Structure 1
């Protein structure tokens, strides 16, 4: 309860990796909903503040992946949207950000099947949709894991989100990012070629309608995932999404993100 303080979590210096590990271990033997909500909130905030090395180490722990997915599944089965579910989705998103091992663990823990269900059942919840699509973006960035997303129903559903002008732009942004990664490697594309052509056409058309957002929507660990999308041989729609994304994050938090171009 002491840790569940915005002032402590945001401003007080302490060993956040050790704290996150302690709270995760605490979850192993406690199921009280109120305390669970607080623990998941603490984990979500702490994971976002860890170094790349610390996040990679934490992402290797299959237990935390299973625990967070179990919370998402529990909430999804009940059809509820609350802070516990949102914090769990945020933690999973951050754990898999440029973390191939964690992304693989997510898939092996049947996370992809669960997220497909959540993506469909929470169509009217943009805050849920963005977090789910954000993690799918993380998976799509890992070349060896892209095959797991090559499911026609899933890809067509993500395309429908991209095309729906009634949805929040953030949802369409992440839908576009996932699709841009998948179509950027024609040699790895295993679905119908007409579907790929349709995605490229719709992606370009959708991005042209986007307007500048007045709030920070996403933070990147680095801009390394954009690099393959900017190669000269890439279709213009893929390049356009990458350039739009870089522009977005740079103007929203220029002090932080300008120093990320380009880390190797």
Structure 2
């Protein structure tokens, strides 16, 4: 559910976004990657979380160009990349911005990041998430010739197969809405695979928080529908079954496993 902003909040948010982007632009001109730059991207990540207006505002202020410049200029800075990819994950949840992201340069960067070794799996996970949202728009909406849609799908699947399900996460979901939308996406098995893997990982590593959230948002029935449908690939079916079994497991058995 996206947040609504009052007029005063709107103006404050606008000033904050513009102010942080100006700082980022100055840091890039001076080729300086310091704590302030990391804080700016972290702040932009926070103000765009489930806030469509700020995501649009950032895109309208040429924020993507600054993101790409930071990716290219400071590609060895793991924490910085993570903050920016967390921000990109927020932007990619806004459907009306998908065509803005359907750009060869952007898609190429996200595809390259599927192989990133920086900061655990977070950069890879978010890169796959951004691409999964774009792929979910359907074959007719894919406008990038290279990498083409089939290649991106293949590379996402290959990447996910290498991720340990026990991976610890530096992430905090308040809603599974965007992920559950991808669980229902049968026209891109890579998108569906990413979403079901995310639910399996989060309910396995952080069961106390995310099993409850999944139940509250109707995720169990959505996963059951995936299990009953013949279209998903075997890996998706297996992950969905793991989540369903975990959610239905008696509390006592769950506690024994976690011990």
Normalising TM by the smaller chain, what interval?
0.7 to 0.9
> Measured at CA, do residues 122 and 185 of structure 1 come closer, stay the same or move farther in structure 2, by a change above 3 Å?
same
Q: For residue 144 of structure 1, give the secondary structure of its aligned residue in structure 2.
A: helix
Q: For residue 73 of structure 1, give the secondary structure of its aligned residue in structure 2.
A: helix
> Measured at CA, do residues 169 and 52 of structure 1 come closer, stay the same or move farther in structure 2, by a change above 3 Å?
same
Q: For residue 20 of structure 2, give the secondary structure of its aligned residue in structure 1.
A: helix
Q: Distance in 1 between matches of 2:35 and 2:212?
A: 32
Within-5 A mapping of 1:50-69: 52=3, 58=9, 61-69=13-21
Q: Distance in 1 between matches of 2:7 and 2:143?
A: 30
| Shift of residue 193, structure 1, vs aligned partner | 8.1
> Measured at CA, do residues 109 and 196 of structure 1 come closer, stay the same or move farther in structure 2, by a change above 3 Å?
same
| Shift of residue 160, structure 1, vs aligned partner | 1.1
- Could you list the runs of 5+ residues in structure 2 that have no partner in the other structure? 219-259
**Number of the residue aligned with 2:92:** 140
Q: Distance in 2 between matches of 1:161 and 1:243?
A: 20
Within-5 A mapping of 1:49-198: 52=3, 58=9, 61-164=13-116, 168-186=120-138, 187-192=140-145, 195-198=148-151
CA contact (8 A) 2:104 2:147 kept: no
Q: For residue 85 of structure 1, give the secondary structure of its aligned residue in structure 2.
A: helix
CA contact (8 A) 2:202 2:210 kept: yes
CA contact (8 A) 1:59 1:95 kept: no
Measured against aligned partners, the alpha-carbon deviations of 1:39-93 in whole angstroms (never above 9, x if no partner) come to: xxxxxxxxxxxx9557997466311110111222222333333322222111111
| Shift of residue 211, structure 1, vs aligned partner | 1.7
CA contact (8 A) 1:100 1:142 kept: yes
Aligned residue pair count: 214
CA contact (8 A) 1:218 1:249 kept: no
Q: Distance in 2 between matches of 1:145 and 1:201?
A: 24
| Shift of residue 214, structure 1, vs aligned partner | 5.2
**Number of the residue aligned with 1:255:** 208
- Could you list the runs of 5+ residues in structure 1 that have no partner in the other structure? 1-50
Q: Normalising by structure 1, what TM-score?
A: 0.72
Q: Distance in 2 between matches of 1:188 and 1:97?
A: 25
Q: For residue 163 of structure 1, give the secondary structure of its aligned residue in structure 2.
A: coil
**Number of the residue aligned with 1:216:** 169
> Measured at CA, do residues 98 and 198 of structure 1 come closer, stay the same or move farther in structure 2, by a change above 3 Å?
same
